[in-house]
Amino acid sequence: MNPSFHDQHDFCSDHGGEHPTVWDLPHVPLALKKEWLELETRRHFLGRGAKALGWAGLATILGRSAPQLLANAAAPEPGAMPTFVPHYAPKAKRAIYLFMAGAPSQFETWDYKPALADMFDKDLPESVRGGQVLTGMTASQARLPIAPSMYKFAQQGKAGHWVSELFPYTAKISDELCVIKSLHTDAINHEPAILQITTGNMFPGRPSIGAWLSYGLGAVNEELPTFVVMTSKMPIRANVQALSNRLWSSGFLSPEHAAVALRAGSDPVLYINNPKGVDGDLRRAMINGVTDLNRQLFERVGDPEINARIAQYEMAFRMQTSVPELTDFSDEPAATWDLYGPKAKEPGTFAYNCLMARRLAERGVRFTQVFLRSWDNHNNLPNNIKALAEDSDQPTAGLITDLKQRGLLDDTVVIWGGEFGRTVYSQGTLRPDNYGRDHHPRCFSMWMAGGGVKPGISFGETDDFSYNITRDPVHIRDLHATVMHLFGIDHNKLTFKFQGLDQKLTGVLPAKVIDGILA
Amino acid sequence: MAFSHNVKFFLAALLTATSASTAFSAEPALFEARVAPILEEHCVECHGPEKHKGKLRLDSFEALIVGGESDEVVTAGDPKASELFRRITLPETDEDVMPSDGKPHLSSNEIKVIELWIAGGASPTKRVGEFAGLPPPKAPKPPYVPLTPDWRPHAAELTALANSLHVRLVPRSRIATDGLVLRTASAPGRCDDAVLAKLARFAPFIAEAELARTKVTDEGVAILGTFENLVSVDLTRTKVTAKGLAALAQSKKLQSVNLTNTAVDDAAVAPLRAAHSIKRLWLFGTKATAFEAPVTAVAGEL
């Protein structure tokens, strides 16, 4: 083997087994391989050069740590580069998204429908359904009998929101909430629907909201991930839907924008603790060595993924210090446990995760998403939803209260909701005290609070059956455009070139900022 | 037939316009006051002097009434028969919907104004007061007031200084006169009074100071009091006391101060309360208790 060729083209750094490149192909003439290398390097180089001239100069240098800056500086498409500077001064610096996976029923939560009380077991009028295709789970039912909510509602606070008796704690802070009753989505089943609301697209492989924010705005605290996800212990295990990291992935964006999933227990981030016999200095020296090798490789081939890898090593190293401090709740005053409830001491519960979300917000983490599952109540809905409400009501209200008293609610937007709604008619046997509800994409309810959202208002309306929207529909895309807007981002302008398209969170169909809910 | 109707209508409109223009009235015409601005905002980019897609222009009443290549777009008195109205009320996913290409659609209030205008005869002169059920006009946007001087000429110096002090200076927005955020969350332990003293040279550019958990004391907070364009300061878990706050209250534009988990009490906070620019004062975990006026937005109360 020609030694000079080996020197020049041994691309193996610390990583083995990654996908093959042209260099790995047999029978390709060397001249062709070299031409490919030149083209690749030239493409990356051009991207880098154009970026350096762009507006981004100061912002990227100021806003990101050195390794992240490197990663950014090498992004391949100058037209798609983020500048880490919002288009306009933001209202929200952070978001906490309480994701109720499985799709909570709007009837027992936020869309009060008193007229249904007199329609128990009546058939849903065909005119209301309007020929809508139902899921396989209820399409074959002989009847679609109306199931009124078993739970009572009362008006609360100055805003007068109708709040379900399932949420006594949330009722007390309901003046902070903007309740949107007119969300709608395109998908009728969980996986496409949950992908659409977390990533803007029903197909897997797109960056989620938090990844877009990380890409567009960068970190506030470079010692912690920009985007954190936590899944919660379930108070009941009924109709559990799977969660997977494609809901919080970076998609086609650089991998550093994906969420770090914090786990419950003594080891919140896997593999960041040093093994026995390795101390901090040795670990630092090792990472420095690997980074040097990676930098050399980057200089030769210009692949931005290499810098993403450098950034990941650095982030892991920094989390060795920042995560233990974050997860040590011993500095919390006694009042914290009254506020979030006793379960907040038990790692992995929804209450614990809510408290963790506040601690992350305090430390500057941009986007925290807490998942609570089991809301997919096809049967035994009254009992299951009660258990879920009991588990989540106090910590949810506690989180809002705590953010507000600490001055964080002003610039932290809190979002509560699932992936679609549920049907007015019962799935399976209907009894006054028990029933189920099937999936319903045409309307569902969510609430938002803080971060530039108008408090104490209700937005959008549905018909008496909460089947069709009658006023101010809000598509998932509009919700996404609005969240971006709160962060100071024009959703049409935060793009990333991929597969020949300027990709964006809101996709190619029209999306609008919901002006009516802005403070 | 459409043509003759169009001509008749146009003549009638002209006559009305002529006669009305001689009459004095303080109240503006609906077209001028409400309809034209909506067309200007949503339509004229593609149907105006530069582009006139479909040979349609909507930048004047006369052009609007003439219509485009496929006929007139407004049928006076009948919104439902008017192509203009039909296009703006199609479902968002319809390929004929206007504005096209994913541009923002008209709000329900804007659509209502156009509907009422057409239903009322699509007149160029009919007064606002002659229309019942008009949605209230949008509050005019307050004019933009620069908060700070443009920091861009100093970008290199600012970058070097921030890096040397282990803090970040981040633009608040792409408007360079929105100023900079002083950000310390990555290494609050490295930010102390000396850092603020060194930043003072660039004080006019700094609009927000995020100093939670830093080592800043009264001395540093007093320096902040000289930052003339500061609107927001977070001093959560710092050692600030009455002395620092008295000096901080001198900053004329200060709107928001977070004192969560500091040792301040009511007496210490008094100068901030008295400062008329203050809108938000956060006092959770302090000995200060009362949240009454003149602080307009109350902290920690639910």
ipTM: 0.82
User: Looking at beta carbons, which residues of chain A come within 8 Å of B285?
Assistant: 333, 406
Looking at every residue in chain A, the average pLDDT score rounds to 86
**Residue carrying structure tokens 């240098």:** A61
pLDDT band at A406 (very low <50, low <70, confident <90, very high): very high
Which residues in chain B are contacts of A401 at CB distance < 8 A? 302
CB contacts, 8 Å: B185 with chain A: 220-221, 363-364
Lowest mean pLDDT among A263-277, A423-437, B106-120: A263-277
AA letter at A269: V
Condensed to tens digits (0 to 9), the pLDDT of residues A354-372 reads 999 999 999 999 999 999 9
Residue A166 has pLDDT above 70, yes or no: yes
Please choose, from the candidates B130, B181, B56, the residue with its C-alpha nearest in 3D space to the C-alpha of residue A217: B181
Q: Which residue has the higher pLDDT, B62 or A85?
A: B62
Q: Which residue of chain B comes nearest to A226, CA vs CA?
A: B186
Nearest residue of B to residue A507 by CA position? B102
| CB atoms B175 and A88 under 8 Å | yes
CA atoms within 13 A on the CB side of A286: 11
Chain A residues within 8 A of B258 when measuring between CB atoms: 406-407
- Token pair of B163, please? 């890096």
CB contact under 8 A, A509 and B92: yes
Interface with chain B: mutation pick from A69, A405, A408, highest number of B CBs within 10 Å: A405
Q: Judge residue B153's burial from the number of C-beta atoms within 10 Å of its C-beta, 0-12 exposed, 13-18 middle, 19 or more buried.
A: exposed
pLDDT given at position A85: 82
Which of A421-425, A455-459, B163-167, B231-235 is predicted least confidently? B163-167
| pLDDT top residue among A30 and A226 | A226
* Residue range A390-407: mean pLDDT, rounded: 97
Report the distance separating Cα A42 and Cα A53, nearest Å.
Answer: 17
Interchain CB distance below 8 Å, B234 and A407: yes
Segment among A64-73, A401-410, B13-22, B274-283 with least mean pLDDT: A64-73
Name the maximum alpha-carbon separation found in chain A.
87
Q: Give A-chain residues touching B282 at CB under 8 angstroms.
A: 405-407
**Residue A186 pLDDT:** 95
For residue A350, give Cα distances in angstroms to A319, A356, A359.
23, 10, 14
CB contacts, 8 Å: A65 with chain B = 186
Alpha-carbon distance B23 to nearest alpha carbon in chain A (angstroms)? 38
Task: Nearest by CB to B282, from A58, A86, A407: name it.
Answer: A407
Question: Helix crossing, A66-73 with A56-63: angle to 10°?
Answer: 150
Smallest Cα distance from B73 to chain A, Å = 23
Q: Do A65 and B159 touch (CB under 8 A)?
A: no
Residue A42: per-residue pLDDT: 55
Q: Do B212 and A84 touch (CB under 8 A)?
A: no
Chain B residues at the A interface, defined by Cβ less than 8 Å, are: 92-93, 97, 102-105, 107-108, 152, 155, 158-159, 162-163, 168-175, 178, 183, 185-187, 212, 234, 236, 256, 258, 260, 280, 282, 284-285, 299-300, 302
Contacts of A409 in chain B (CB under 8 A): none
**pLDDT value for A33:** 74
Strand partners, B127: B29
Report d(CA B180, CA B203) in Å as an integer.
10
Chain A CB contacts of B90 below 8 Å: none
Give the nearest chain A residue to B154 (CA atoms).
Answer: A58
Instruction: Report pLDDT for B162.
Output: 87
Q: Which amino acid, A75?
A: A
CB contact under 8 A, B300 and A512: no
CA distance A106 to chain B (A): 25
CA-based nearest residue to A416, from A167, A240, A225 = A167
Mutation test of the interface with chain B: which of A406, A411, A412, A469, choosing the one with the most B Cβ atoms within 10 A? A406
DSSP lists the bridge partners of residue A453 as A518
What is the structure's pLDDT at B18?
Answer: 44
The gap from C-alpha A281 to its chain's centroid, in whole angstroms, comes to 35
Residue A418: its pLDDT value, please?
A: 98
Taking each helix axis as running N to C, give the angle between helix A30-53 and helix A56-63, from 0 to 180 degrees, rounded to the nearest 10.
90
- How many angstroms separate the Cα of A471 from the Cα of each of A84, A91, A459? 36, 26, 9
Indicate the pLDDT class of residue A310, thresholds 50, 70 and 90.
Answer: confident
Query: Token pair for residue B297?
Result: 């937005």
Q: Ramachandran region of residue A123, left (φ > 0), alpha (ψ -120 to 50) or beta? A: beta
Burial of B130 (0-12, 13-18, 19+ CB in 10 A): middle
The reported pLDDT for the residue numbered A23 is: 66
Question: Which of A91, A220, A315 has the most B C-beta neighbours within 10 Å, making it the best mutation to test the interface with B?
Answer: A220
The Cα-based distances of B120 to A376, B26, B124 in angstroms read: 51, 20, 11
Chain A residues with beta carbon closer than 8 angstroms to that of B260: 405-407
Determine, for residues B173 and A488 on separate chains, whether the beta-carbon distance falls below 8 Å. yes
Q: What parts of chain B have a pLDDT lower than 70?
A: 1-26, 290-302
